[in-house]
Structure 1
Amino acid sequence: MPRQMILNLNPMPGGFSNGGWRTGERDPLHYSSIAHFAEIAQIAERGKFDGYFLADFASWNSEGVNRPPRFLDPVVVLSYLAAVTSHIGLIATASTSYNTPYNTARRLMSLDHVSNGRFGWNVVVTAGDDAARNFSLDAALPKEERYARAQEFVDVVLDLWASWEPDAIRADAENGVYTDAAKIHPINHKGEHFRVAGPLVISRSPQDHPVLVQAGGSPMGTKLAARYANAVFTVQNNIEISRRYREELRAAVAAEKRAPDTVKLLPGVVTIIGRTQEEAEARAAYLNDRIPIDVRLNSLAHWLLLPREALGTDLDQELPWHLIPADAVDGHDHRATMLKTARDQRLTLRQLTSQSSATHLALTGCAEQVADTLELWFRSGAADGFNIMPAELPKGITDFVDLVVPILQKRGIYKTEYRDTTLRDRYLDS
């Protein structure tokens, strides 16, 4: 079967644009409701999307001042979505920094059962002192220690998931034997960060265990992904750089004695789609006009851990690189990648504060143009698929499903029906 493109939806309440929730087309309170998440999940499923990915945060940030915040626990949201969808994969972020392996293993395996093998775990390592102070710490652990903890954390979770043999459940009503105790094993893990006896209290799922994904492009993040992940979410807006990174990732996967084809690279793509280029550009301008410049600069300053005045008022200047603290980058793989792109491309404040991400791949155009770019990246080996991040919701995902998906299907690079029932099979078969 020809290689098929993977598509995930990565939604923000109201859309990626800070102006998406201000169009007047919906009650602003709707964008933080479970009804909003369910609506866009069902639209994405109509478009045969492979996954629905939700990020998470361990501390309050200023995002919630000027737009609907992402305050709902992604595990809770996706549990609800498991009941109102039938096919789309459900991928939740859970940090290895401020959780424990046993509870994480049980919660995520439970969701994999509830969703009938559609669940995925986005493994993240949380930096930032704000988050640490919410978990009885004064500061975040050093980066090396965070990643060492993450590796041990994932190892323990995987051991717990494997503590039940595949045929441990007998369900023999006639003889009164539901589980075969001889096929359920303790793990007796004793490591630097965790001591876990096991076994887990829940059996393997229809896909054996949840799919693991990882987001980040730092050397430590790449090593973590190469060892464990089936998909990597990344920030790329240059096709050659993305192609090189995919080659590096595949080499790292091979070095871990894993088959390179078992790990898929999925860059984020911000989309604004019109029936013509002019219509799309007009919509982009409309969304951008909904965002006051002070809001844009305040958000950027907060993101960089800078006071607002550090950015000045000249939108055509570059970032004040000498003022950006190390803490703004250390441990933040996506932020580090975005800032490297901004420096390499000499992006201005105007570009960085536009609603179409200057660091993610941003596509504003008609459906044919968007499909052309996605196909080029896919066929040239720069990506195995994409995390679609519509600038506004639900309009943006509706436009993508109704206008772009049929083109990709006609070109033979995207499925017309769901074939596989589990998220793992769907990723591996693409």
Structure 2
Amino acid sequence: MIGLGEGENFLGSDVAAFVEHTRNALAIGQDEIVAITPEGVEVTDFSGAPVEVEPFEVTWDASAAEKGGWSSFMAKEVSEEPEAVANTLRGRIHEGQVEIPELDGMDEFLADIDRILVIACGTAAYAGMVGKYALETWTRVPVDVELAHEFRYRDPVLSARTLVVSISQSGETMDTLMAVKYARSRGAKTLSICNTQGATIPRESDAIVYTHAGPEVAVASTKAFVAQITALYLLALHVGRVRGAIDPVVAVEAVTELEAVPGKIARVLETEQSRIEQLAHWMADTRSVLFLGRNVGYPIALEGALKLKELAYIHAEGFAAGELKHGPIALIEPGQPVFVVVPSPRGSGEMHKKVVSNIEEIRARGARVIAIAEEGDVAVLPAADEVLRIPLAAPLFEPLLAVVPLHIFAMGLAEAKGLDVDQPRNLAKSVTVE
């Protein structure tokens, strides 16, 4: 990235390196050369021909990339989850319906797609799995979610009516970048969901939907994760409207739910954070934690497990709750901590009953159950050892709330073990090699 100042110019791997000096930036593309002096910047290709590069303005200031009194960047970024969702919604909702300005000119294509393929890695892939439920519900288009590093090695079926959605916080994830290039070479349209202006993946894509989470410094993604889910929900509502696949009344209800999410996440942080941190400190010597979820709660179980692996360096696994009797229940022994993401009884009452039954089964075998359940759900009380409450929300929107206690817990457990939550061992913020 190039920072454009007055009488000075800057070269850095990210705009955070120079944003305290200038907010005006250039993104340099593949196979381009930059000559930089205090007076100017010249970009050419390898043959020496000039390359026109459009400057852009960084929309956050230097203080956004500083701790600002917090114990860690991760603690700060968890506290910013409500703001990340609100900022991602901003400017994309008009009179109760979603209109994404970045997709102007694509509506004709979006109305004719016959398949959506989401590609990502790690936490971003779990965001994609959550988004799949909303995309299929509101667009009535089949959706697959694939790990980017597996995608191009299996000769995937793509066509001109396939929309490939890539998700990357940094926009530089090499596996995802190569998958995007492969998809374009096979004739598919590509859309990037990214948090970093001017990054490589957005530049290689046909369209971009930026999340506006602000700079995320901690390696383990938190606020970018909820912003990615929010962007996917906006995309689903936009495509559903363009295709005429979503009832306008349902769309308005969904928008209302989305707009309420930031306030509800803030309530979780306000009412549950200190209790979850205390619980994490009590469990500092824990060596294994299991996570169960069903439907949209399943990817959240996977995300909870990944955060513990990244931050606390302990064995952690996420399972679909319905899989319990198909193998994972063999792991249950006395004292085994199990987090269960409980679906709302107001959605599919049948699914709620089955998850409560799962809780009873593992509790009978000696597990210690920590349930994440909505306010007023009393059915979980006799079965769970601890109940962490989230505000009432429509079932599709519960993941944005249920993941917050898991982020807090992973951070708290790592801190209780004296570990660096911002820079876990062996990990980098952006994976730029395959």
Q: Tell me, yes or no, whether TM beats 0.5.
A: no
The one of the two structures with greater contact order (alpha-carbon pairs below 8 A, sep at least 6) is 1
More strand by share: 2
